[in-house]
């Protein structure tokens, strides 16, 4: 307890923050960053960025669909986010007949906006530090529950969450308001929204027009309401103005959004484990993605069906490879170990400190050593045999059936409802592809698993292609029609996929308890102590907590970088690069005809750069972002929108673990490129007219 109070006291004294690094907590901005924000060039006060008493910038920023960020850009609930953030929703609305994903879409009025069932948009209402109440309680869970209950009563209709920061040394009670009537407004064709595909992903120089637009709808009272034709566009407390001034090197720039996860308070041993586990993921996904890609290139209909699955899989796959390379190149483990050695020396120099913190690094090393093999085995199972779609389909039916039973339906009704809910899954299922994947994934598993983790007796010498042939030949899960024809859930009991599912499950369950249930609390305590010790050790330096999908601010400047000796990267790209990269024979680099004509004609209109007359496409800042920040607004010193953050750069892929001031950049799409496309290609004057501009 005493330690916590020291931390709180430490947070209250004045700090020196340095711009660039840091995903800063909004309620602490005034205290930790006030002076530095100003010195960096920000023209807004911390209060204008975040306040719970009056309208502030934070009211324009939303958590989009749970995994991305978006921002309000009109007084009628219009929002903009990345194309890759809207991807799943646009994919779900698309078919071979209405291929919004590949062809793009522009609603020309409210009536043409398309509801997206399941998509939500969440506003942050407030954050309150409740550390003291939680740390002082003997039963922390009960204390959390009490706080949540009181907040729920005070904020009807809101979602309340107590969230831990700095490895659970600090706790905030956060109030959110979620809207569930969100409609698709417009997006470029995927060839523009994802221009450069996986080849350019995580890379600079970049030319991707990574945006999509949606609108939040509310009841007549402006509060959340389930989808209804009677709902009206939501009126946000704050919406962003768009700056058409463009960016110059050295300009102040800040990003507000919902970074997902970072590992900046983890020990070298924990990081080594992460890299080992990710290697398994990379290898398994290579097997699966190669087959998917081949099938997608051969058939546009398969391409559409698998577009979302492929993009999701490949994004992590490439990220982890870059991370592995950057760990080596930047000696991440070595630097972390050095830091830990100094921390240890500092702790041990004072008996009181030693008593307070112990040796958290050693405790965590022991925890890691005890669990790494289990985690690797578990990952191999989930990435290989468990990823066979047929296995997932069987699991899906069984899960939905179980839920319906628990909801009180009788077994026949439960089965019918489970089947009906699986229809969409089957719409995107290509059985011939899955059959190939099944062979490859089972063979991959056999090659990499320990013999005691083999899936069935005789697995070592099984003829896997023959096994898969038989599996797919006899299973009722291979098509929606066959599944629909099954008379009852019980009739599927002997299905060969159910048997395979059980086999996989049995092996998975060997590892689940050790990883998830019987976790030794000493690890959690050590992790908390590790962060607390780091904070006390570096007292005087402002510290920000690891990302955890809560709203943060990162601020810095527009800057170029040097990826390696003698090479310098400009801080912006122009449309000339689109034409340079264009390659009609490569599906990742196709320019839609209409776009190409506009570019060749130099038709940039009011969106051209005032200085050089060119169409600027993307630019770089040294803002500190990670996954989840995708779609976040990039704002100028006055809080006007200048772009959207959408990626990180290859040379600093270890950025979730350590910030690299000279190398790490945030890749942003220039808002003028976005609006050029909306106006000139989409001809959506309705959208252009809704936005307020700063010239
Ligand atoms: N790397 C980006 C991120 O994780 C996603 C980019 C999506 N584009 C793509 N080509 N897969 O935020």
**What is the CA(194)–ligand 1 centre distance, in A?**
8
Nearest ligand 1 atom to the CA of 87 is 7
Domain ranges (residues) in the chain: 268-517
In 627-686, where do the E strands start and end?
A: 633-635, 641-648, 666-670
- To test the ligand 1 pocket, which listed residue (81, 85, 315) has its Cβ within 8 A of the most ligand atoms? 315
- To test the ligand 1 pocket, which listed residue (207, 647, 656, 666) has its Cβ within 8 A of the most ligand atoms? 647
Find tokens 């909004």 and name the residue: 26
| pLDDT value of residue 514 | 87
**What is the CA(204)–ligand 1 centre distance, in A?**
12
Q: Is the beta carbon of 630 within 6 A of some atom in ligand 1?
A: yes
Q: Both tokens of residue 436?
A: 């190939």
Question: How far, rounded to the nearest angstrom, does the alpha carbon of residue 220 sit from its chain's CA centroid?
Answer: 32
Q: Could you tell me if residue 65 is left (phi over 0), alpha (psi between -120 and 50 degrees) or otherwise beta?
A: left
| Cα 504 from Cα 498, distance rounded (Å) | 10
Question: Of 79, 118, 396, 116, nearest to 236 (Cα)?
Answer: 79
Question: Of 564, 571, 558, 608, nearest to 205 (Cα)?
Answer: 571
Nearest ligand 1 atom to the CA of 315 is 11
**What is the CA(653)–ligand 1 centre distance, in A?**
13
DSSP-based three-state secondary structure for 335: helix
| Cα 221 from Cα 232, distance rounded (Å) | 9
Q: Both tokens of residue 573?
A: 């790209």
> Which residue's CA is the closest to the ligand 1 atom numbered 10?
197
The strand pairing partners of 597, in sequence order, are: none
| Cα 556 from Cα 554, distance rounded (Å) | 7
Q: 7, 532 in Cβ contact below 8 A?
A: yes
Nearest ligand 1 atom to the CA of 84 is 7
| pLDDT value of residue 19 | 61
Helix axes 83-93, 300-329, angle to 10 degrees: 160
Q: Mind spelling out the 3-state secondary structure of 65-104?
A: CCCEEEEECCCCCEEEECHHHHHHHHHHHCCCCCCHHHHC
Alpha helices, H only, 221-331: 268-298, 300-329
| pLDDT value of residue 592 | 97
Q: 169, 90 in Cβ contact below 8 A?
A: no
**What is the CA(351)–ligand 1 centre distance, in A?**
48
Question: Of 676, 670, 689, nearest to 606 (Cα)?
Answer: 676
Strands 212-218 and 232-233: antiparallel
| pLDDT value of residue 520 | 84
The residues carrying an active-site annotation are: 84, 210, 630
Q: Is the beta carbon of 631 within 6 A of some atom in ligand 1?
A: no
Q: Both tokens of residue 91?
A: 């994919």
**What is the CA(424)–ligand 1 centre distance, in A?**
25
| Cα 271 from Cα 278, distance rounded (Å) | 11
Q: Could you tell me if residue 254 is left (phi over 0), alpha (psi between -120 and 50 degrees) or otherwise beta?
A: beta
| Cα 88 from Cα 91, distance rounded (Å) | 5
Neighbours of 473 (CB within 10 A): 10
Q: Is the beta carbon of 207 within 6 A of some atom in ligand 1?
A: no
| pLDDT value of residue 16 | 55
Nearest ligand 1 atom to the CA of 314 is 11
- To test the ligand 1 pocket, which listed residue (67, 199, 200, 201) has its Cβ within 8 A of the most ligand atoms? 201
**What is the CA(659)–ligand 1 centre distance, in A?**
20
Question: How far, rounded to the nearest angstrom, does the alpha carbon of residue 204 sit from its chain's CA centroid?
Answer: 20
Omega of the bond prior to 17 within 30 degrees of 0, cis? Answer: no
Q: Is the beta carbon of 647 within 6 A of some atom in ligand 1?
A: yes
Per the document, the length of the chain is 695
| pLDDT value of residue 476 | 97
Q: Is the beta carbon of 198 within 6 A of some atom in ligand 1?
A: yes
Residue 590 has what DSSP assignment?
A: P
Residue 437 vs residues 169, 170, 434: alpha-carbon distances, Å: 45, 45, 5
> Which residue's CA is the closest to the ligand 1 atom numbered 4?
627
**What is the CA(263)–ligand 1 centre distance, in A?**
20
Question: Of 126, 1, 158, nearest to 52 (Cα)?
Answer: 126
Question: Of 253, 195, 246, 204, nearest to 616 (Cα)?
Answer: 246
DSSP-based three-state secondary structure for 314: helix
Q: Is the beta carbon of 318 within 6 A of some atom in ligand 1?
A: no
| pLDDT value of residue 621 | 98
DSSP-based three-state secondary structure for 213: strand
Q: Average pLDDT for consecutive 10-residue bins of the chain (695 residues)?
A: 48 55 97 95 98 96 96 98 98 96 98 98 97 96 97 97 97 98 98 98 98 99 98 98 97 98 98 98 98 97 96 97 98 98 98 97 96 97 98 97 96 96 96 98 98 98 98 98 96 96 97 88 95 95 96 98 97 98 97 97 97 98 98 98 98 97 97 98 98 96
Q: Is the beta carbon of 320 within 6 A of some atom in ligand 1?
A: no
**What is the CA(53)–ligand 1 centre distance, in A?**
36
Q: 216, 121 in Cβ contact below 8 A?
A: yes
Phi, psi torsion values for 684, nearest 5 degrees: -95, 70
DSSP for 90-155 reads HHHH--SSS-HHHH-EE-SSGGG-EE-TT--EEEEEEEEE-HHHHHH-SSHHHHHHHHHHHHHHHS
Confidence (pTM): 0.96
The strand pairing partners of 541, in sequence order, are: 16
Q: 244: Cβ–Cβ under 8 A, 6 or more apart, which residues?
A: 606, 607, 672, 693, 694, 695
Q: Both tokens of residue 506?
A: 């049995």
Question: Of 474, 483, 491, nearest to 429 (Cα)?
Answer: 483
């Amino acid at each position: 307890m005493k330690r916590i109070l020291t931390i709180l006291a430490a947070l209250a004294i004045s700090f020196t923050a340095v711009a660039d690094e840091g995903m800063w907590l909004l309620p602490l901005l005034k205290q930790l960053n006030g002076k530095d924000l100003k010195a960096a060039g920000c023209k807004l006060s911390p209060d204008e960025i975040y306040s719970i008493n009056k309208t502030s910038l934070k009211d324009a920023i939303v958590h989009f669909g749970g995994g991305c960020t978006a921002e309000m850009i009109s007084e009628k609930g219009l929002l903009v986010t990345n194309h890759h953030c809207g991807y799943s929703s646009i994919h779900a609305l698309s078919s071979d007949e209405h291929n919004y994903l590949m062809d793009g879409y522009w609603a020309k009025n409210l009536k043409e906006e398309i509801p997206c069932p399941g998509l939500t948009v969440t506003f942050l209402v407030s954050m309150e530090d409740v550390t003291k109440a939680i740390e002082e309680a003997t039963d922390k869970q009960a204390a959390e529950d009490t706080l949540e209950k009181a907040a729920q009563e005070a904020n009807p209709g809101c979602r309340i969450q107590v969230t831990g920061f700095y490895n659970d040394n600090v706790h905030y009670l956060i109030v959110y308001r979620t809207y569930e009537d969100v409609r698709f407004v417009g997006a470029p064709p995927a060839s523009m929204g994802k221009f450069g595909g996986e080849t350019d992903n995580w890379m600079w120089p970049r030319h991707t027009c990574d945006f999509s637009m949606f609108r939040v709808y509310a009841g007549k009272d402006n509060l959340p309401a389930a989808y209804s034709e009677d709902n009206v566009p939501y009126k946000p407390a704050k919406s962003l103005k768009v700056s058409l001034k463009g960016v110059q090197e050295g300009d102040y720039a800040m990003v507000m959004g919902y970074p997902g996860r970072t590992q900046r308070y983890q020990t070298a041993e924990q990081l080594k484990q992460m890299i080992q586990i990710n290697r398994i993921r990379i290898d398994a996904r290579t097997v699966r993605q190669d087959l998917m890609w081949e099938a997608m290139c051969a058939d546009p209909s398969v391409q559409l069906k698998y577009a979302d699955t492929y993009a999701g899989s490949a994004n992590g796959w490439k990220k982890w490879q870059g991370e592995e390379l950057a760990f080596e190149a930047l000696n991440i483990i070595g630097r972390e170990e050095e830091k830990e050695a100094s921390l240890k020396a500092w702790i041990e120099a004072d008996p009181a400190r030693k008593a307070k913190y112990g040796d958290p690094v050693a405790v965590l090393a022991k925890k890691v050593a005890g669990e790494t093999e289990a985690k690797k085995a578990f990952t191999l199972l989930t990435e290989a045999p468990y990823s066979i779609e047929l296995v997932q389909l069987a699991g899906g039916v069984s899960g939905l059936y179980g839920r319906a039973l628990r909801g009180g339906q009788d077994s026949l009704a439960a089965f019918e409802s489970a089947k009906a809910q699986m229809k969409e899954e089957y719409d995107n299922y290509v059985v011939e592809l899955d059959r190939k994947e099944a062979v490859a994934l089972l063979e991959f598993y056999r090659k990499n698993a320990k013999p005691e983790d083999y899936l069935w007796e005789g697995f070592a010498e099984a003829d896997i292609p023959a096994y898969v042939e038989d599996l797919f030949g006899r299973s009722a899960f291979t098509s929606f029609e066959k599944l629909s024809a099954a008379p009852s859930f019980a009739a599927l009991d002997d299905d060969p996929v159910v048997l395979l599912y059980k086999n996989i499950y049995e092996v998975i369950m060997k590892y689940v308890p050790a990883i998830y249930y019987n976790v030794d609390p000493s690890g959690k305590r050590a992790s908390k102590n590790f962060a607390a010790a780091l904070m006390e050790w570096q007292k005087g330096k402002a510290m920000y907590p690891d990302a955890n999908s809560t709203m943060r601010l990162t601020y810095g400047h527009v800057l170029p970088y040097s990826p390696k000796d003698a090479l310098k990267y400009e801080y912006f790209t122009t449309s000339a690069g689109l034409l340079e990269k264009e390659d009609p024979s490569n599906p990742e680099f196709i320019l839609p005809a209409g776009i190409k004509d506009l570019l060749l004609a130099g038709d940039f209109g009011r969106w051209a750069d005032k200085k050089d007359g060119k169409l600027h496409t993307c630019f770089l800042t040294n803002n500190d972002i990670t996954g989840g920040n995708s779609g976040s607004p990039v704002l100028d010193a006055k809080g006007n929108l200048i772009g959207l953050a959408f990626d990180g750069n290859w040379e600093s892929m270890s950025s979730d673990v350590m910030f690299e001031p000279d190398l790490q950049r945030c890749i942003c799409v220039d808002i003028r490129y976005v609006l050029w496309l909306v106006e000139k290609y989409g001809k959506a004057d309705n959208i252009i007219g809704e936005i307020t501009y700063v010239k």
